[in-house]
Chains A and B, each alone.
Chain A
């Protein structure tokens, strides 16, 4: 798969991101199997499809379409707004569906709504998964809010 320029930007200091000039452009990183090409998120060490090791980092497209979403009204985990929305995003140009937090919301985004990654928690950037037992938190922290947030394209990243 070939990504369009700008579609997959690893976290690099100094680029213009949604946070304004100088803010890093957030990105999620998955992996791709060099042997069979299967993509994965979170990044894997061993390919689930063919068993090969040596998985290559795969910067993921920042944009996609909502597959499904819901709004949670119950007591949120520490660091989350209430109510807040979660769901799944079909990323552009790669055969992956990733879970996502959509930030504060009154009603779920409809299927097909265009969204983009607007924020990755510092503790999550570059990490494959949160530390065991920490739920939504970084290692040693009680909670850090959502690991990453997608928002409607052109919308308020909130």
Chain B
């Protein structure tokens, strides 16, 4: 059963330590409820996503705090952590609740505060990767090396993902980094993990996003033309003893489930927001999601397809690389951005005539695989 998006909001993604998690979450929830025309007492279930607040600030069970800020209490509230896919996992859970008839209207919020953090995030305290010194950029750098060694290609072309997403972000007032950059500038930025340079890695900033969802019957009371979530998939990694790192099997698996649910294929997607935490990630996801054949991601990028004005714009909002990546806000912001696109309200970065969008998010590292993945398909 499809689920309606009644309203959505994204705070500006910024590095502003003066704003608390509660400040950010409150702003996003308040704006999303107003956008939806939904009163606090009409929300019957809520899902709140945050990754770092518990450990960094003692902000445990944050969701109840955020929701009460906008006058929501008594209802079931679930706090969600699923690494970078926390926000989209929260949306998935809200969809399940609505499909099950457990709630007619559900609110989802994702919030993160990272500007006070220093240094790259370790790849997992419990894993041998963490014990031998893998920081998160290394997990993706080895993916890039494996990809280039398997399929060939010019490593300098990876920088074009950043050039594209920075250019898109320059048109999005809510994006964190809005200065267009050249390929030379991306390649000349300080090395992080070969072949990835600084501008090929997502920045750390603060932000929140929220959406209000409803069943089809209830949605009619609020709007004549909602955006529909017609597929929602959450899956986890395979963690084989020997993993081919030039391909992302979990992308293929989750995307196929989503296409089956929606009754669509990759050729039907007009716009996508995908998890470009690092430039190589976006290239792997072009292929995993079926946007282009295996091993051809860099060619597809160079040919202009995923750029605004191309055949399938990817990350017109600027993506994680330039819009910013406040972890748990990201998955909700992707859906909010697609909702805006499908309603024709994305202004300077509007994908003309877009009616079908795909949101892809991936979280965590385990044995070189991801831990969590979500693929959602939206239609208007």
Chain A residues near B (Cβ < 8 Å) = 38-42, 48, 67-77, 80, 84, 86-88, 90, 95-101, 107-108, 110-111, 124, 129-130, 132-136, 146-149
Contacts and interface: CB of A to CB of B under 8 A. Distances in A.
B130 to A, nearest CB: 6
The residue among A41, A72, A75 with the most chain B CB atoms within 10 A of its own CB is A72
Given A84-B133, A97-B242, A111-B149, 11 more contacts: A67-B146, A70-B194, A71-B193, A72-B133, A75-B119, A88-B245, A99-B129, A111-B146, A129-B131, A135-B131, A149-B132
Nearest to B131: A147
A73 B128 contact: no
**Centre residue among A39, A42, A80, A87 by max chain B CB count within 10 A:** A87
B132 A148 contact: yes
B194 A77 contact: no
B314 to A, nearest CB: 25
B142 interface: yes
Q: A-B pairs with the 9 shortest C-beta distances?
A: A147-B131, A70-B141, A101-B132, A73-B191, A68-B146, A99-B129, A68-B142, A97-B242, A71-B194
A86 B242 CA distance: 17
B128 A68 contact: no
Contacts of B193: 70-74
Given A69-B142, A73-B193, A133 B241 contact: no
* B interface, size bucket: 20 to 34
B116 interface: no
Interface centre among A48, A67, A124, A134 (most CB of B within 10 A): A67
Contact of B128 (A42, A108, A133): A42
15 contacts: A70-B144, A72-B135, A73-B190, A74-B135, A74-B137, A97-B241, A99-B127, A99-B132, A110-B149, A111-B145, A124-B131, A129-B131, A130-B126, A130-B131, A135-B130
A101 B133 contact: yes
B134 A99 contact: yes
Contacts of A75: 119-120
Interface string B337-379: 0000000000000000000000000000000100000000000
B243 interface: yes
Contact of B125 (A39, A69, A72, A130): A130
A86 B133 contact: yes
B42 to A, nearest CB: 42
Contacts of B145: 68-70, 87, 108, 111
A80 B241 contact: no
A68 B193 CA distance: 13
Contacts of B192: 72-74
A40 B243 CA distance: 13
Nearest to B240: A97
A99 B134 CA distance: 9
Contacts of A74: 119-120, 135, 137, 192-193
Contacts of A149: 132
A75 B190 CA distance: 12
A152 B136 CA distance: 24
A93 to B, nearest CB: 13
Nearest to B134: A86
Contact of B132 (A39, A48, A110, A146): A146
Contact of B241 (A40, A72, A77, A107): A40
B7 to A, nearest CB: 39
Nearest to B192: A74
A88 B138 contact: no
Contacts of B153: none
B133 A95 contact: no
Contacts of A87: 142, 145
B122 interface: yes
Given A70-B193, A72-B133, A86-B138, A98 B146 contact: no
Interface string B19-54: 000000000000000000000000000000000000
A129 B126 contact: yes
Contacts of B242: 90, 95-97
A126 B125 CA distance: 18
A95 B131 contact: no
Nearest to A129: B126
Interface string B82-98: 00000000000000000
